[in-house]
Each structure stands twice: as C-alpha cells, then as structure tokens.
Amino acid sequence: MHDIRQIRENPAAFDTAMSRRGMENVSDQVLDLDNTRRAKIAAAETALADRNAASKQVGAAKAAGNDEEFQRLRSLVAAKKEEIAALESEAKAADAELRNLLMTLPNIMADDIPEGPDESANVELRRSGTPRDLDFEPKEHFEIKGVVPGMDFETAAKLSGSRFVVLSGAIARIHRALAQFMLDTHVDINGLTETWTPVLVLEDMLLGTGQLPKFGEDSYQTREGWWLVPTAEVTLTNIVNGLIVEENYLPRRYVAHTQCFRSEAGSAGRDTAGMLRQHQFEKVEMVSIVHPDQSVSEHERMTGLAEDILTRLGLPFRTVLLCSGDTGFGAVRTHDIEVWLPGQNTYREISSVSNCGAFQGRRMNARFRPEGGGKPDFVHTLNGSGLAVGRTLIAVLENGQQADGSVDLPQVLHRYLGGKTRLDADGTLA
C-alpha cells in the first residue's frame, strides 16, 4: 500500500510511477477521496467545538432563568450531535473508500526497471550451465518412458478434474527427495529458519501480502471463509502482521515447504499438458523481513540462494530482470530464474524472487523500532521460490533423460533415494 502523505506531497511523481504500470492520472482520484475525507473530519471537529461551546452555555442560560435561550441551546446541542455523527460516518466511508482504492494500486517499481509491455522485454542478467548436446530427440517430462508409470493424469482428472496429477512410486519419491534436499540446503547451509505454517488463512492475511482485493479470482476460498494459500509467502510474511519489533530482531529469514493452490485464472489453454501449471503444487518458499537499508542486498542474496539450488542439481538456468510490464503487483524489483527444459527447447520460470520494499509492511502495519530511538518505521519484505518442487522435478527428469527412456538423477539426490542413482526405463529406481 502507498503512503498518502507522499502522494499529497508529490502527486506528479506518483502519477509517473503509476503510468509505468499502465495507469494514468491516479492521483486525481486518490486526492479527491483524501480531500473529501479530510474535509468531513475538519467539519466534524468544528461541529464538535460548536457543540461543546453550546453545552457550556446551556447551564448558564438555565441558571439565569432564560428559558428561550435554554431551549435554543439544547436544540443546537442536539442538532450538532446529529451533524457530528453524520459527518463522522461520511468521513469513515470516505476513509474506507480511500483505503480500498490504495489497496488496489500496485507498488512503485525501482527506477532502473526496464520499460516493456510483457516478458519479451525482460533483460537477461546471467546464465549458468550449458544444456546437454543430445543425440536423440528429447521428450517432455510426461513422455519419458521411465516417468510414465509414476505420473498419472487420467486418475487425477477422475479425482479432481484438469490440472492435477497423481505421482506414485519412484516419481513420488524423487519429488519428495527434491523438497527435502531444498529444505536441508536452505537450513543447514543458508541459515534460514525452517517454518511449518497453515495452508488455510484469514482474508486479512491475503490483504496484507497483496493477493486481495484485486486478485481474489486467482485463489481458492472455502465456504467457511478461509483462503487456501497460493504460496507460503502469505503465511511467512504475515508473521509480523500488526507487530512493532525491535531493530535487532531483523533480519528474519524463513523457509517453508507447503502445498500451494492457485486457480490459474486467465491461463486457459496454457501449459495444459504435463504438470507445469497445476491447481495444487508444492513449493519451498523463502521469505525475508529486513531493515529498509538491507532490502536491496537481501534481494541479491535470495536470488543467489535459489540459483545455488539449481547449480547443486546440475541444471542449466538463466536469471532475468523483469521489465515494467511483467513485474508483479507488489514488487519493487523481481528476478525470475528460468531453468532449461530440453523437452520444450526453452527456458521456463522455476523461481521468482521479489523485493517488495515497504509495500507489504504498510499493508500489514508491520514496523520496527530503531535502536537509537525514534518513530517506528515499516519493515521491508522479500519473497522467492527456493524452489517450485514440481517444476524442479520436471527439470530433473527432462535434463537427465537418456535415449532408452531412463533418467540419470543428480548426485545431490542420491542420499535421499537410498543410494539410487537413476530412474530406469521401467519406472523403478536403480
């Protein structure tokens, strides 16, 4: 959310920032509501002062036996009471309307974000690893002979409909091994705090991280009012919702492995084959809550942690800086990490690491108290996949595939698989 004071002080700068998001003259609407709200508050304060003055005069008029003045003042006090109630109600309504508007406005991007309408204008920052030269036509993950027995879309469709999968046998075990490897790496090597959180959350939590109110159609809500998390970003970030923490509490660096749920609204017809785009999937999510002075360096740090997982798995990838038209609603700056998928002959996103600045902190009213004293300030928050487990499974299977339909598995997974090193063409671990 945005600071209304900054919009008042420099509406032109705010409009310039919003125009990069494809929104024009936003400050006019914001300031009209703000002026209405402030005018109602000022009028209510004036009416309150008038009522208080009249109330003091009521007693004097009664003591003087001036019944006509007494009745006039009593009527004035009653009228002012009604006027104050009406003005306060109108101010409250204007305040709610202003807050709702501010909650739908995207974050201000960093000045150096490249301009562009969509992902075609993203800027590649670096590449790591070289795709294998294959002497056979590579298959997509769901077509590999050794994968087919353990990846069942037909049964999943019978159980739940489209965009679900049933994993079994060796494939389920590799999937589980990947999540365990990611968690162990982030906890034992990267120093993140492992956290287990609910996947059902209250509406205020999605408001805090920016999924609501604008993107409600992208998430699932239960009949009881809970929402299913689209990622553990929601729960991990909201740990500090409504808190004022001491400065020495920061930074906080969390990691969680959870089920995630997305309706994939707007993605009809995209990635319908295989398990690239699912309604239910797993992620190992990283969240950092930091001092404002640390968020830029923390963004680079978190990007490096996600990249390191891919490096340890021996998977080729590239890291890109998202352009203005592709940067998410709550982000100041986002790095996407794209893994090479030989079956598609292209790089596909496997992690998105975003610096949200104070945007979520302000929405959550999450602040820290400076060590040297002074007014509490909003924390900065960052989030990123470390990694998406299902997409990593896809990448491992496609990059390790052999001509006979078997799959060579990354060395770092061997100890999680009981010393097994490959998926045979018959779908068993060997």
For residue 271, which of 391, 191, 186, 130 has the smallest C-alpha distance? Answer: 391
Is 262 known to sit in a ligand binding site?
yes
Is 247 known to sit in a ligand binding site?
no
Radius of gyration of the chain (CA): 28
The letter for the amino acid at 167 is: L
Contact 234, 218 (CB under 8 A): no
d(CA 47, CA 9) in angstroms, rounded, equals 28
d(CA 264, CA 392) in angstroms, rounded, equals 19
d(CA 411, CA 424) in angstroms, rounded, equals 16
| Planar angle of CA 208, 224, 227, nearest 5 degrees | 30
Is 231 known to sit in a ligand binding site?
yes
Is 351 known to sit in a ligand binding site?
yes
d(CA 385, CA 241) in angstroms, rounded, equals 21
H-helix or E-strand spanning residue 341: strand 333-341
d(CA 41, CA 88) in angstroms, rounded, equals 7
Centroid of chain to Cα 19: 22
Q: What is residue 201's three-state secondary structure?
A: strand
Is 232 known to sit in a ligand binding site?
yes
Is 399 known to sit in a ligand binding site?
no
Contact 364, 350 (CB under 8 A): no
Cβ atoms within 10 Å of 217's Cβ, excluding its own: 9
Is 264 known to sit in a ligand binding site?
yes
Q: What is residue 152's three-state secondary structure?
A: strand
Where is the binding site for L-serine, in residues? Answer: 231-233, 262, 285, 383, 385
Where is the binding site, in residues? Answer: 231-233, 262-264, 285, 349-352, 383, 385
Where is the binding site for ATP, in residues? Answer: 262-264, 349-352
